Amino acid sequence: MLDAMPPHLRTGGLLEFDDVTKVYGQTVALSAFSHRFEPGRVHALMGKNGSGKSTLVKILAGVILPTSGALRVNGAEAAFHTPQDAFGAGVITVHQELSLVPSLSIGENIFLGRLPMARKFGLAVVDWTRLHKEATALLHEMGLDLDPHRLVSALSVGQQQVVEIAKAMSFNPSVLLLDEPTSALATREVNLLFTLVRRLRDRGVTILYITHRMNELFEIADTCTVLRDGIFAGSVEMTEASHSLIVEMMFGETARARRPARKAIDRSAAPVLAVDGLTRHGDFEDVSLAVHRGEILGIAGLLGAGRTEVMRAIFGADPVDAGSVTVNGRTVPTATPKQMKEAGLGYTPENRKEVGLVQILSTHDNLCMASLGRIAPSGVITRGREKASVTRQIADLAIKVSEPLLPVSSLSGGNQQKVVIGNWLNTQPKVMFFDEPSRGVDVQAKRQIFDIIWDQAERGLAAIFVSTELEEVLEVADRILVMRQGRIVAEVDPTATTLDELYRLCMEGSSE
Amino acid sequence: MTTALASRPGTSPVIRLIKSYPMEVILVVLVVILIFTAPGFASLRNVLNVLRTGSLLGIIAFGMTAVIISGEIDLSVGAGAALAGCIVAWFCGALVDIVGGPLAALIGIVIAVAVGFAIGFSVGKLRQWFNVPSFIATLALFTALRGAANLITGGFPLTTFPKGFDFLGGGYLLGIPFPVYIFALTFAGMHFLMNFTRFGRAVYAVGGNMEAARLSGIDIWWVKCMALGILGALTAVSGTLIASQIGSGTGTTATGMELDVIAAVIIGGTSLFGGKGRIWGTLIGVLFLGCISNGMTLLNVSEYWQYVVRGGIILGAVLLNQVLERVR
């Protein structure tokens, strides 16, 4: 067990990677990474999804061990078999998802698992006085004006993030890893966080800072290290860096993606789906868009830009404060997913494992889930009646499944995604929303999924396509809307836009 | 579905049978043992007795299976059964002079079933509107319904049933106890409902992943409310049969029945986490519990030991399912 926080923070440590490689089966996630992270500086770590960034985070957090290579903290060789090993070496990771217990106080959260004890009447009891005193001292030292008695559930997300960092600091780390700490924060709260990060840096703590937001780099980071496809792509001092230099390091020489010749879209006809002034305060404001028959509309934006929120709201999965949705010229009031399905909408959600599929049910059942009403208008249903819908989708979408009656959880990610799509295609939708359809699937399955989307559009389906991977949006969509902080800020033609331009459009304050 | 289990080469058919149909195999083994050890177990009289007792439990257990698959639970079925019997008895007493005995009983039964359905349905609505877990709502009903039943009877058994009413719970049709027919009908109906209707498939989806079902455009609250309503109605049916069998509407009858019902469902392989289970499995569970209790009584096992054994069986069944899950 770790002792409660000593009153003074120790100085930072030099973190060195020497030829660190991580291999998963056939995939090289991180390849011969060598770099020195100097103490007392904020080191940004950039790279698009799949660049090896999260592998690096996991190695430092003690979640996985590198396949080969060495890691050194202050010159001493370190191998983190467990998160405790990492703590012991003074390397603390603050993960993107908050790990606080909302129903407990700030103080108790900070010392969770190592509460200071005192003996009273011969019994070991929690020493609340000392706990809160130490918590106050810690918060104070970090320049935070928070009462440790307050419940975490009463704090804003930004304050919670700050408490999370305070908790990490109570372990007295020499290296602090912040994994996208600002992804859920409002601007004002970002400033609070930055003040804290600078304060810690000035104490000599080595800070690794992972973010998707490029503007933050120039504000907070001293250096920027970029990974691309598992390989070290370069490292620059922020004083010598520019937006385009970093984008170039991240994406490299991107070959223009192939895409099939697309039919011209008839935009003179009324749109199949028209959204007008859709608003939910705090999440998205005044979103208006229209999609025509056979058109693939891409929505680009960084994580947290509100893409998924808008799609879920259009689909009726979440409430809205204002705005209307019109499908085929008919405005759908008080939408629920059920009504939207009947109106001709389909939605393949971004997190297919959690909400796209019922994992314990069979592939067969999952393929029929949304279309039970269509298959069984009278209410009576048999496997025989469902069979046609199941075999059609398995054949059309080339779903690799040995036995459709086995649980869908036995399929690979790509095939599961196809089941989600097939489930919706069985409802014969007019409009389909594809939310991150390529997440967590292999390259080949990704190509197949894009082919399915193009093919369906060719047959008249209107589609909205969302992906964190901007290359994919450029490749798949006929037209792209750019979202930033809950608003649509631009519309671009993918054939006349470069990745670099699109990436800049997605960034905050890129107009400067 | 268990029938679709992939057969791995190299495993003997016996092992495969045990892995695929564990409770069926255990039930058969139990029956064979009891035939040879328990005096009178295999007699027609005794078999019919086991079936009659099992029927009263099973009618409710089939409804409970649907509710548990949908991801909810109902702890109030014992009290609900008692209330139903008291409602029927009250109407028999109040209306007998106006419409005659048989019609009074019929009105009573219809109202009892409707009340049962409405109570179950409201449990679902409480969950939907106020996010009250069904565990809590039905725990409250567990005591409230029994209180209500006693309020109706004034604390004494209501022996107001018309002549011939005892046929429902105690009579024989073609040599088989009448409740067994209701039991068989309920089994067929619930099996059909769960496997061959849109509603049934939706119950599995909702219990397996509520959000995925909602995003698939399934009206998840309708599904849950209906499952709970159906259980309420079936509870009332069983409660009527019980009242008929003992000849009165009594507020104190069917105490502890909810535990036996849930035990039968669990022994039948239904997962308390929702999304998984079969009506057929519950039938096996009901027969298994019936045979065990009857067998132990015939073998002169003390009542206290019977409780201990039943507890062990529930735990054992769950462990068996968990272990098999891993083996598969």
B 184-223 near A (Cβ less than 8 A): 196-202, 204-205, 208-209, 211-219
Residues 6+ apart with CB under 8 A from B190: B62, B63, B65, B66, B279
Give yes or no for A381 touching B (CB within 8 A): yes
Q: Measured between CA atoms, how close is A366 to chain B, in angstroms?
A: 8
- Whole-angstrom distance, CA of residue A424 vs CA of residue B299: 58
Residues spanned by the domain of A469? 257-344+429-512
> A163-215: per-residue pLDDT in tens?
888 888 888 888 999 988 877 676 677 888 888 888 888 888 899 998 877 77
pLDDT at A445: 83
Residue A125: left if φ>0, alpha if ψ -120 to 50, beta else—which one? beta
Would you give the DSSP letter of residue A380?
A: B
Residue A381: which of B6, B201, B209 has the nearest Cβ? B201
Is the pLDDT score of A70 beyond 60?
yes
The conformation of residue A369, written as its DSSP 8-state character, comes to: G
- More confident position, A331 or A118: A331
Contact B73, B277 (CB under 8 A): no
The distance of A296 to chain B (nearest Cα, Å) reads 22
**Alpha-carbon distance B134 to B139, whole Å?**
8
Minimum distance, in Å, between the CA of residue A312 and any CA atom of chain B: 9
- The reported pLDDT for the residue numbered A6 is 42
Closest CA to A28 of A226, A228, A227, A229: A229
Structure tokens at A421: 């799509």
Task: Looking at the complex, report in whole angstroms how far the Cα of residue B201 sits from the nearest Cα belonging to chain A.
Answer: 8
Mean of pLDDT values over B155-162: 88
A202 touches chain B (CB under 8 A): no
pLDDT in tens, A27-61: 788 888 999 998 889 999 988 767 888 888 889 88
A-chain CB neighbours of B212 within 8 Å are 354-358, 369
CA A443 – CA B101 distance, rounded (Å): 75
For A403, the closest of B6, B204, B209 (CB atoms) is: B6
Per the DSSP assignment, residues forming a β-bridge with A226 are A46, A234
- Bridge-partner residues for A278, per DSSP? A287
CA distances from B152 to A223, B113, B163 (A): 80, 16, 21
**Token pair belonging to B314:** 């529930």
Pairwise CB contact (< 8 Å): A349 & B1: no
Q: Within an 8 Å CB–CB cutoff, is residue A317 touching chain B? A: yes
**Quick one: pLDDT at residue A253?**
63
Phi, psi of A359 (to 5 degrees): -60, -35
B125 CB-contact burial (10 Å; exposed 0-12 / middle 13-18 / buried 19+)? middle
User: Within the 77-136 window of chain B, which residues sit less than 8 Å (CB to CB) from chain A?
Assistant: none
> Which of the residues A318, A345, A357, A360 would you substitute to probe the B interface, choosing the one with the greatest number of B C-beta atoms within 10 Å?
A360
Residues A51, A228: contact at Cβ < 8 Å?
yes
What total number of domains does chain A contain?
Answer: 3
B276–A362 C-beta distance less than 8 A: no
Taking only residues 238 to 277 of chain B, the set having a beta carbon closer than 8 angstroms to any beta carbon of chain A reads 275-276
Contact A369 B276 (CB under 8 A): no
In residues, how long is chain A? 512
Which secondary structure element, helix H or strand E, spans residue B174, and what is its range?
A: none
Task: Give per-residue pLDDT as tens, A383-392.
Answer: 888 888 899 9
Measured in angstroms, the CA of B195 and the nearest CA of chain A are apart by: 7
Give the pLDDT confidence of B31-86 residue by residue, as tens digits.
Answer: 999 999 988 898 999 999 999 999 999 999 999 999 999 999 999 999 999 999 99
pLDDT in tens, B187-216: 999 999 998 888 998 999 999 999 899 988
B186 Cβ contact list (under 8 Å, min separation 6): B58, B59, B62, B63, B234, B237
Q: Which CATH architecture has domain B44-327?
A: Orthogonal Bundle (1.10)
Instruction: Give the count of Cβ contacts less than 8 A between chain A and B.
Output: 87
Encoding tokens for residue A186? 């409002």
In 3D, which of B263, B271, B266, B270 has the Cα closest to residue B311? B263
* Any domain includes A141: no
Contacts of A357 in chain B (CB under 8 A): 209, 212
Reported as a single tens digit per residue, the pLDDT across B124-154 is: 999 999 999 999 999 999 999 999 999 999 8
Same domain flag for A487 and A340? yes
Does pLDDT of A218 surpass 90?
no
Under an 8 A CB cutoff, do A347 and B215 touch? yes
* Contact assignment for B204 to A361 by CB distance below 8 Å: yes
User: Among residues A195, A222, A249, which one ends one of the domains?
Assistant: A249
Which domain-ending residue is among A400, A428, A456?
A428
Residue to test with chain B: of A312, A315, A361, most B Cβ within 10 A? A361
CB-CB under 8 Å, B196 with A382: yes
Quote the minimal CA–CA distance from A13 to chain B in Å: 45
The answer to whether A157 contacts chain B (CB < 8 Å) is: no
Is the CB of residue A291 less than 8 Å from the CB of residue A478? no
Residues A309, A174 share a domain: no
- The reported pLDDT for the residue numbered A254 is 55
| Contact status, residue B69 vs residue B194, Cβ threshold 8 Å | yes
Residue A243 reports pLDDT greater than 90? no
Q: Please tell me whether residues A330 and A373 are part of one structural domain.
A: no
Closest partner residue to A337 among B1, B198, B217, by Cβ? Answer: B217
Q: Which residues pair with A118 in a beta bridge?
A: A125
pLDDT reported for residue A88: 84
The strand pair at A42-46 and A479-484 is best described as unpaired
What's residue A429's pLDDT? 93
Whether A491 contacts chain B with CB within 8 A? no
One domain, residues A175 and A91: yes
User: Chain-wide mean pLDDT for chain A?
Assistant: 85
Q: Closest Cα partner for A399 from A382, A427, A419, A425?
A: A419
Which of A495, A499, A444 shows the shortest CA–CA distance to A467? A499
CATH number for A439: 3.40.50.300
Closest C-alpha among A146, A263, A237 to residue A196 = A146
Q: Which residue of B has its CA nearest to A371?
A: B216
Which residues does residue A284 pair with via DSSP β-bridges, in sequence order?
Answer: A280
State the DSSP H helix or E strand holding residue A119, giving kind and residue range, or none if neither.
strand A117-120
The answer to whether the Cβ–Cβ distance between A317 and B276 falls below 8 Å is no
d(CA A130, CA A31): 47
- Using CA coordinates, name the residue in chain B closest to A367: B216
CB atoms B212 and A376 under 8 Å: no
Cβ <8 Å between A376 and B275: no
Least confident stretch, A255-259, A471-475, B82-86, B178-182: A255-259
Q: How far apart are alpha carbons B197 and B181 in whole angstroms?
A: 23
Q: Are residues A73 and A188 in the same domain?
A: yes
* Domain boundary assignment for chain B: 44-327
C-alpha A163/C-alpha A169 separation (Å) is 10
Give B1's pLDDT tier (boundaries 50, 70, 90). very low
Nearest to A480 by CA among A503, A453, A458: A503
Q: Tokens 């679709």 belong to which residue?
A: B4
Q: What per-residue confidence (pLDDT) applies to A287? A: 93
CA–CA distance, B258 with B292 (Å, rounded to integer): 18
Strand A123-126 relative to strand A296-300: parallel, antiparallel, unpaired?
Answer: unpaired
pLDDT of residue B168: 92
**Residue A474 sits in the same domain as residue A366:** no
Inform me whether the C-beta atom of residue B141 falls under 8 Å from chain A C-beta atoms.
no
Supply the pTM of this predicted model.
Answer: 0.78
Q: How close, in Å, is residue B256 to chain A by CA atoms?
A: 32
Residue B6 has pLDDT above 70, yes or no: no
Handedness of CA B22, B28, B32, B37 (dihedral sign): positive
What pLDDT is stored for residue A9 in this prediction? 45
Q: Largest Cα–Cα distance in chain B?
A: 73
Residue A503 structure tokens: 């990436």
A176: which residues sit within 8 A by CB, 6+ positions away? Answer: A92, A94, A165, A168, A169, A200, A205, A206, A207, A208
Closest CA–CA distance from residue B4 to any residue of chain A (Å): 6
pLDDT the model gives residue B4: 44
Handedness of CA A425, A426, A430, A436 (dihedral sign): negative
Task: Please indicate whether, in this complex, the C-beta atoms of A342 and B217 are within 8 angstroms of each other.
Answer: yes
d(CA A307, CA A286): 13
User: Looking at beta carbons, which residues of chain A come within 8 Å of B328?
Assistant: none
Confirm whether A383 is domain-assigned.
yes
Predicted complex ipTM: 0.76
Nearest to A358 among B1, B199, B205 (CB): B205
Same domain for A386 and A317: no
* Residues 6+ positions from B293 with CB-CB distance below 8 Å: B53, B306, B310
What per-residue confidence (pLDDT) applies to A82? Answer: 85
Q: Which amino acid is at B284?
A: I
Q: How far apart are CA A112 and CA A120, in angstroms?
A: 21
Find the helix or strand (DSSP H, E) in which A291 lies.
strand A284-291
Q: What is the pLDDT of residues B245-300, one digit of tens each?
A: 999 989 899 888 999 999 999 999 998 888 899 999 999 999 999 999 999 999 99
Task: Measure A315 CA to nearest chain B CA, in Å.
Answer: 9
Asked if A294 and A416 sit in the same domain, the reply is: no
Q: Tell which residue, A239, A253, A181, has the closest CA to residue A213.
A: A181
pLDDT band at B9; cut points 50, 70, 90: low
Do A338 and B202 lie within an 8 Å CB cutoff? no
Give the end of a domain, one of A373, A407, A428.
A428
Provide the 8-state DSSP code for A442. Answer: -
The owner of tokens 């409802």 is: A427
